[in-house]
């Protein structure tokens, strides 16, 4: 097998998607498949019960998981799109290399022809045949045979390289179609995700407006924060069991000077919040920052990633431990870019919020704590987002 044929075999795409349906994407990813099974189970449960307070709570939970599933599907589509895009670029590069090789071979053949063709276009065989001696004639004929063999090999190389280019062009067409299919699927998923978020808000509004379910809504808010607080206390307990470092007050000195975790503006402040529909107050221990930049979430200070998980109502959540028992909490992250136990520096990217989705308000939930005491992030962050 020639090197050219081997090259073509090596260029068989690493990633191929036999179908552009979302189900194929889900089935190819174990995490997405598990989440899909959970959703199907809850949908069956929803069908069995009456339209009541319980059904609305389950419906909210079901929509939250649908949103999470589609956000994960969208991430998987983006990952595959980038892989196919890179693979397409490699194919184009190989085609360019082969075309350059063909151009060089053609020039070499043209250059070789100068030695065999005179100005009238007649082969100079007579110079070889009518030589001074028999041995000289045999020698010249051998030279001619070798030259012809060399030119034939170059011609064969050109044919092989053109065949390789044809094969690569077929692969390129497949890549283009793959990219178009993925692009179409991406926007279908985005549209579905937008509809689900609207449905979530509408369902939440129905639950909020119904007097019989107002307390349930408050219970949902309370249970979500209790869940977050439970996870935090586990992290804090683990940190206390580890050897304590000398107090440095490094983090404390940055009050009012911390860089923002994302570029944006605060849309929900720290402190007491009055919920009109419930005629009651809730206490926000963190802030919501509407994302207005590239969507990258960054650590505000040096530390160690202590906790990563998905929590209902908060999405993907990251807790980072800093010196002197300070902690920062980042939630509602689409894609986590760090691992548990990983050391991070100030400004390191720890996650991303997918701002590619249009007409959807993207926000980061952010907290700062000293031990288990919530601090007002607005007093710690710089006056304006960088």
In degrees and rounded to multiples of 5, residue 111 shows phi and psi of: -65, -40
pLDDT-based confidence at residue 326 (cuts at 50, 70, 90):
very high
How high is the pLDDT of residue 28? 67
Q: In which element (H, E) is residue 203 found?
A: helix 134-209
Question: Among 11-25, 183-197, 246-260, 366-380, which is the least confidently predicted range?
Answer: 11-25
What tens digit of pLDDT does each residue of 113-133 get? 554 544 444 444 555 555 555
How high is the pLDDT of residue 152? 78
How high is the pLDDT of residue 367? 94
* Rounded Cα distance, 311 and 369, in Å: 18
Mean pLDDT of 268-287: 76
How high is the pLDDT of residue 251? 87
Instruction: Determine what percent of the chain falls in helix, strand and coil, rounding each to the nearest 5.
Output: 55, 20, 25
Beta-carbon contacts of residue 367 (< 8 Å; ≥ 6 apart)? 285, 286, 287, 327, 328, 329, 374, 377
How high is the pLDDT of residue 49? 52
State pTM to two decimals.
0.46
Q: Which two tokens stand for residue 219?
A: 């219970």
What tens digit of pLDDT does each residue of 15-54 get? 333 334 567 666 766 766 766 676 676 666 656 554 455 6
- In this predicted structure, the answer to whether residue 228 has a pLDDT above a threshold of 70 is yes
Beta bridge partners of 288: 268, 365
């Amino acid at each position: 097998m020639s090197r050219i044929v081997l090259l073509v075999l090596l260029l068989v795409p690493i990633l191929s998607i036999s179908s552009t349906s979302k189900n194929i994407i889900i089935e190819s990813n174990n995490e997405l498949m598990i989440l899909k099974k959970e959703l199907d189970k809850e949908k069956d449960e929803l069908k069995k019960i009456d339209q009541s307070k319980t059904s609305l709570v389950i419906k909210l939970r079901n929509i939250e998981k649908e949103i999470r599933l589609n956000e994960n599907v969208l991430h998987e589509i983006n990952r595959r799109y980038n892989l196919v895009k890179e693979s397409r670029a490699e194919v184009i590069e190989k085609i360019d290399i082969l075309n350059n090789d063909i151009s060089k071979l053609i020039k070499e053949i043209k250059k070789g022809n100068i030695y065999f063709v005179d100005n009238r276009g007649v082969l100079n065989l007579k110079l070889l045949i009518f030589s001074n001696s028999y041995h000289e004639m045999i020698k010249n004929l051998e030279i001619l045979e070798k030259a012809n063999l060399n030119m034939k090999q170059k011609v064969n190389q050109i044919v092989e390289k053109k065949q390789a280019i044809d094969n690569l062009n077929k692969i390129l067409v497949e890549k283009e179609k793959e990219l178009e299919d993925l692009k179409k699927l991406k926007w279908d998923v985005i549209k579905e995700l937008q509809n689900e978020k609207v449905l979530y808000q509408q369902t939440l509004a129905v639950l909020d407006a119904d007097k019989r379910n107002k307390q349930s809504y408050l219970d949902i808010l309370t249970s979500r924060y209790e869940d977050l607080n439970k996870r935090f206390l586990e992290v804090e307990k683990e940190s206390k069991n580890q050897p304590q470092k000398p107090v440095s007050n490094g983090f404390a000195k940055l009050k009012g000077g911390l860089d923002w975790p994302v570029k944006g503006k605060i849309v929900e402040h720290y402190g007491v919040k009055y919920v009109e529909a419930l005629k009651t107050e809730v206490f926000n221990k963190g802030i919501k920052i509407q994302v207005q930049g590239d969507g990258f979430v960054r650590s505000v200070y040096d530390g160690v990633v202590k906790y990563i998980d998905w929590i209902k109502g908060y999405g993907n959540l990251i807790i980072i431990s800093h010196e002197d028992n300070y902690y920062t909490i980042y939630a509602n992250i689409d894609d986590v870019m760090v691992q548990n136990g990983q050391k991070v520096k100030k400004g390191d990217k720890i996650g991303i919020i997918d701002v590619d989705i249009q007409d959807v308000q993207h926000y980061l939930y952010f907290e700062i704590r000293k031990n288990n005491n919530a601090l007002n992030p607005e007093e710690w962050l710089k006056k304006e987002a960088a």
